[in-house]
Structure 1
Amino acid sequence: MPRLGSTLLSLALVGVITLAAYTDPWLLGVAVLLVQVLVAAAPGIRDASHASIPSPRVVPVVVASLVATVLTLEPDLLSGASGTSPGVVGASSTGMLSGILPAVAAAVFVALLAQMLRRDGRTHLVQSVGYAVMLSAVAALAAGWVGAVQSIDGPEVVAVAAAGVAGGLLAWALPIDRWVCLSLATLAGAGAGAAVAASVESSMTVYFGLIVGPAVALAAVLGQVVGRSIARGRTHASASWGFPGAMAVAFAGPIVYIGGQLLTMPNL
């Protein structure tokens, strides 16, 4: 049941992202922020004795999410004050994931600051900081959905990727052997992506769906597996299916962005 719940949540999230992609980039940014907030609601980690490890993570993840999403929407914010920009060498063009490194850097700073405020002896310091930074990096990568919509045929790219994610996760939810499921997820992602690529009005061909569809499907499956592994044994909805569902969408983000860049290649 948790796998089905997280799958349905992922489908709802990519559906909202697709609708937002056809509406307004900033609305898409809000939809992606929803995914990132669900990542921030990750369950805590435990040590070998199953004792909870204090890990302040919500604020670092939210900071990384805001920085990554806003800078992906407005990369010119990195240009600096007038007269200080290095020109074309340091220029950022719309659609580039120029916000990921600043987002992770900000998350590391905030995570270390949060550790300084701990009053419990700062036990398991490395694990605590590492977990917060890992979640922040994953949340920042979700901004790839925003970067993709700014590429050639951006909304259509998002639609193809969303179909691939949906097809892959639905196949992965089948109660059969996991290796068989993985093969079916790959095929379902390719089929769904190709079907959407062939039906939308854009410059892309069916081959684009056959490439991007299975790639995002596998990324989404990996994200769900990682999320479910972290949330194993938790019964709260936000941990048992909310977090894995968001992780699946976040993991697909950079693949979607790369897919958008593939449209610059001929015959795709």
Structure 2
Amino acid sequence: MSRIGASALSVVLAAVLALAVRTDALLLVAAVIVVVQGLLASAPSPADARGRSIPTPRSAATMSAGIVSCAFALHPRLLLGADGSTVGLEGFISNGVFAGVLLGVAVGVFVAIVSQMLRRDDRRHLVLSTSSAVSLALFASLASAWIGATRSASGPDVVTIAAVGLAASLLIWMIPIDRYVCAAAAITVGAVASAAAALVVGGLPTWVFGLAIGSGAALFAILGQVLARAWSQGRVHASAGWGFPGAMAIAMAGPIVYLGGQLITVSM
């Protein structure tokens, strides 16, 4: 049941992203990504060997990292700094995403450390608690890659093609059969759906590009759900059972979509 709920959520989020990018609603794309980051922040705390939850302050670190990375993806010119300062062109080439991810993770690490210092217990399992918060901060930062893909050349086409492949693959992933067979079928269907979408949009991307980005987005979306379910360790309440895995699928696919947008930019 958790696979169905998580996949359905991912499909809805992908559909909203595709709709937003086709209507040039960049702020709506950013809003969807913030929702994804909020769902990531709701991830369950890690458990010890006895299955007991370890106190892990994670929401502040996750959301601060996500918001910082979103800000730089939306406004790459923030990388220029104050008037009179000089930087290279890397910030513009990467649409602010690579630098934004690094800065977002840096902020997330700082906030995670401060949150650990504010704990009023005996700070049991400090390393595991801190590493979990930092990992969530990284995932939240990666989700902002969807914004960078939107801002690239042929961004609406790239995001639409990737979203179609991701949604199609996760519809197959809902089927309750052997997970290896299901994963292979889901990736294949995702690649074919993206190739068909590339032919329909009629822009710069070709069907070969659709196959590549569709299979990549499908693969990492499924890996995101598998990782999230392993992280949740059988806990089935809303945030762990479907909210967190559904958001992880979107976050993990983000860098693949962004890379596709950059490949289109280079080919131009």
Give the Cα separation in 2 of the matches to 1:243 and 1:151.
28
Deviation at 1:3, TM superposition (A): 0.5
- How far does residue 78 in structure 1 lie from its aligned partner after superposition? 1.7
User: What is the root-mean-square deviation in Å for CA atoms of aligned residues?
Assistant: 1.5
Q: Deviation digits for residues 35-86 of structure 1, max 9, x if unmatched?
A: 1111111011110011210100000000001000111111111211111223
Give 1:18's aligned amino acid. A
| Structure 1 residue aligned with 2:4 | 4
Q: Which runs of 5+ in 2 are unaligned?
A: none
* 1:13 partner amino acid: L
Aligned to 2:68: 67
Aligned residue for 1:40? 41
Distance, in Å, in 2 between the alignment partners of 1:165 and 1:89 is 32
| Correspondence for 1:84 | 85
> Which residue in 2 is equivalent to 1:95?
95
For the Cα contact (< 8 Å) 1:160–1:196, is it kept in 2? yes
Q: Counterpart of 1:46 in 2: which secondary structure? A: coil
Gaps of 5+ in 1: none
Match of 2:18 in 1: 18
Name the CA distance, whole Å, in 1 between partners of 2:90 and 2:256: 24
How many residues are aligned here? 266
Equivalent positions of 1:199-218 (< 5 A) are 199-218=200-219
Inter-CA distance 112–158: structure 2 relative to 1 (3 Å threshold): same
Q: Kindly report which structure 2 residues correspond to 1:1-268, keeping only aligned pairs within 5 A, or say none.
A: 1-22=1-22, 23-86=24-87, 88=88, 91-93=91-93, 95-97=95-97, 98-264=99-265, 266=267
Partner SS for 2:44: coil
Equivalents in 1 of 2:112, 2:94: separation in Å? 29
CA contact (8 A) 2:152 2:265 kept: no
Distance 1:56 1:91 in 2: 32
Change (3 A) 1:28 1:115: same
* 1:74–1:94 Cα contact (<8 Å) kept: no
* Structure 2 residue matching 1:204: 3-state secondary structure: coil
CA deviation vs aligned residue, 1:80-129 (integer Å, no higher than 9, x gap): 1111223x356534724120000000000000000000110111110000
Identity of matched residues, %? 47
Instruction: Report the CA distance between 1:163 and its aligned residue.
Output: 1.0
Distance change (3 Å), C-alpha of 1:193 and 1:6:
same
Q: Is the 8 A contact 1:71 1:78 kept in 2?
A: yes
Inter-partner Cα distance in structure 2 for 1:95 and 1:185: 31
Structure-2-length-normalised TM-score: 0.95
Offset at residue 235 of structure 1 (A) = 2.6
* 3-state SS, counterpart of residue 53 of structure 1: coil
